[in-house]
Amino acid sequence: MSGRRKLAITVAALLAALAFALVDQFNAARLERNPSPVSQATGASDRERYHQGEFFVTGVVDGDTLDIDALDGDKLTTRVRLIGVDTPETKKPNTAVMYYGPEAYEFTRGLADGKRVTIWLDSMGAARDRYGRLLAYVRLPDGRVLNEELLAEGFAYAELRFKHGSLQKYEQLEASARRARKGLWEQVTEEQLPEWLRKRNPKWLKAFAERQKPADAQRL
């Protein structure tokens, strides 16, 4: 093979390598501007699908969990976990029914089951929890927010493990229910609190135990 031909082949190979590199860079930039469908299936698409949308509640799973009539992947309904609240468990696998769990379930069922509600997503954090449930506020037909009603009437604990936009307000709602001894706060004991709540600041637990004493004992 002549030297001139070898040079031509070498130049052609270099040009081909350069062309492939340019194509790769172009595709990388295009994907960055236009993510694939898989990468788009995140909180942004959830916000577009659900935020401020109206849906029928097809069923209540627990005091803080319900299903709405919206397709979710291969599921006929979307499971919604009420953001900012934690009601006592009634159906969690390998967990006994907790104190005031059935009451919280019936409260939510009475307010929301079969009703047309409005879903609001929070601007902080992810749109889904680790179980794939949609994290949301649920506005009832009469304008009340289900999350807030659960706290105000003493059917739920304010969720303090995860940040959300209503954290301070929900702490205050829980505190007001505690002071008034509404719902579960009338007789709940330290042992009946959720595990995560029992691990809170020892000063809070001491103050809680003091408040839960009968009124005559507090006067002693």
The residues assigned a catalytic role are 81, 89, 133
Distance of CA 34 to the CA centre of its chain: 27
The angle formed by the CA atoms of residues 207, 209 and 212, to the nearest 5 degrees, is 110
Q: Which residue has the tokens 């769990």?
A: 101
Q: What is the DSSP string of 26-79?
A: HHHHHHHHS--HHHHTTHHHHHHHHTTEEEEEEEEEETTEEEES--BTTBSSEE
Distance CA 125, CA 122 (A): 7
SS3 139: strand
